[in-house]
Structure 1
Amino acid sequence: MEKIFIRNATIKDIEQIMEIEHESFCETVHEDRSVFRDRISTFPDGFLVLEVDESVCGYISSEIWNYSEEIREDRFDLNHSISTVHSTTGSELYISSIGILKKHRRKGYGKLLFLELSRRITEKYNISSMILIVSVQWTAAKKIYENNGFKEASRIHRFFDDGTHSDAIVMRKYL
């Protein structure tokens, strides 16, 4: 039986996080090491890793934004600096990235990370909504979000530089 543990990420986890990032996303979509280091140091509460048998096999990162009804596409730019948008007094949780190693997919670990992050952040911060983006091609991820009450709020056309320039679906959930 696998031993599963979720904890806050530390800078020491960066190699495993980058391995997951590179395995989860194509080269033109994965984010830089410096971005992940910045996320961990700026908002450690919002960056979790999932360990299976004491080995990091998944992560989820987030930011807290000031809520705006207007959805500004530039806020979702890949490799943006968390320090330009993050505010612990904000009321909207932005799920910036989630990844699971391929050999651990389809076991519910993504959902587990997502639910644990949501629980921890909403217990500690005054969050009234959550927002994220997902590629139109990532059907499994989209299904997790829909099953957790997220609805499509808008689309960003040709957002992902993934060979097909797929659209990003902006999904939002009010709490």
Structure 2
Amino acid sequence: MPAVIIRKVKPEDLDRVAEIESICFPAAEAASRNSFQARIAAFPDYFLVAEDKTNAKLIGFINGCVTNSPVIYDELFYDTSHHIPDGQNLTVFGLDVISEYRRQGVAAQLMKHFIQLGKKSNRKNVLLTCKEELVHYYESFGYVNQGRSQSNHGGAIWYDMILAL
């Protein structure tokens, strides 16, 4: 496993974050640079990055807002005004790791830190949507599959997952 530092995003990480997103997600699903700029401004406490300790290269990130909704709905991805700072549920919009660092525990480190962040900030649940082939992966963290999501983000089929904290 590479030596990784998990830290809060900084405004100067914006371009690299947008680049990583464009590598990790199809264009129809990837968030834009402008979207990340808004997210970093609106909820920086819920935006963590992974940095390779040996070269200070940003290699991945996890981010999401806080809501009272029991599921992620598509508008959350596009409009940061839906972020409710004192809401009960923390969401995961994306868990991105560049390919050369995958299957080395980086995503798991990001997810574990994010879950701890949810606990420390007294959230009730962590919510995410994922594609069917990733349901098992998220279940390994304790998430429970709630079935097919109403989200049609990027034209894909998603599944609602919830982790009670």
When the two structures are superposed, what TM-score results if normalisation uses the length of structure 2? 0.89
**8 Å contact 2:4–2:106 — kept in the other structure?**
no
Aligned twin of 1:169: 159
Cα distance between partner residues in 2 of 1:159 and 1:111: 26
* Structure 1 runs, 4 residues or longer, greater than 4 Å off: none
| Percentage of pairs with the same residue | 24
1:129: which partner in 2?
A: 125
Pick aligned residue for 1:63 from 44, 62, 65:
65
Q: Does the Cα contact within 8 Å between 2:144 and 2:162 map onto a contact in 1?
A: yes
Q: Pick from 61, 78, 81 the counterpart of residue 79 of structure 2.
A: 81
Q: Does 1:113 align with 2:106?
A: no
1:151 aligns with 2:149: no
1:107 Cα deviation from its structure 2 partner:
0.5
The letter of the residue matching 1:159 is: N
Contact kept, 8 Å, 2:7 with 2:50, in 1: the verdict is yes
Quick one: distance in 2 between partners of 1:122 and 1:20? 27
Q: Specify the SS of the correspondent of 2:122.
A: coil
Alpha-carbon displacement from aligned partner over 1:35-79 (angstroms, at most 9, x marks no partner): 1111111111100100012110001001111144xx4x7x23474
- Contact kept, 8 Å, 2:40 with 2:47, in 1: the verdict is yes
TM-score (norm 1): 0.84
Letter in 2 for 1:81: D
* Alpha-carbon separation, structure 1, partners of 2:151 and 2:127: 19
Matched, 1:15 2:10: no
Letter in 1 for 2:148: R
Secondary structure of residue in 2 paired with 1:50: strand
* CA gap 1:135/1:78 in 2 versus in 1, 3 angstroms: farther
CA RMSD of aligned residues (A): 2.0
Contact 1:64 1:86 (C-alpha < 8 Å) held by counterparts: yes
Query: Please, which moves more after superposition, 150-159 or 27-36?
Result: 150-159
Count how many residue pairs are aligned between Structure 1 and Structure 2: 163
Asked if structure 2 preserves the Cα contact closer than 8 Å seen for 1:128 and 1:174, the reply is yes
Decide whether the 8 Å contact of 1:135 with 1:160 is kept in 2: no
Q: Aligned in 2, Cα 1:159/1:12: closer, same or farther, shift over 3 Å?
A: same
State the shift of 1:157 in Å: 6.2
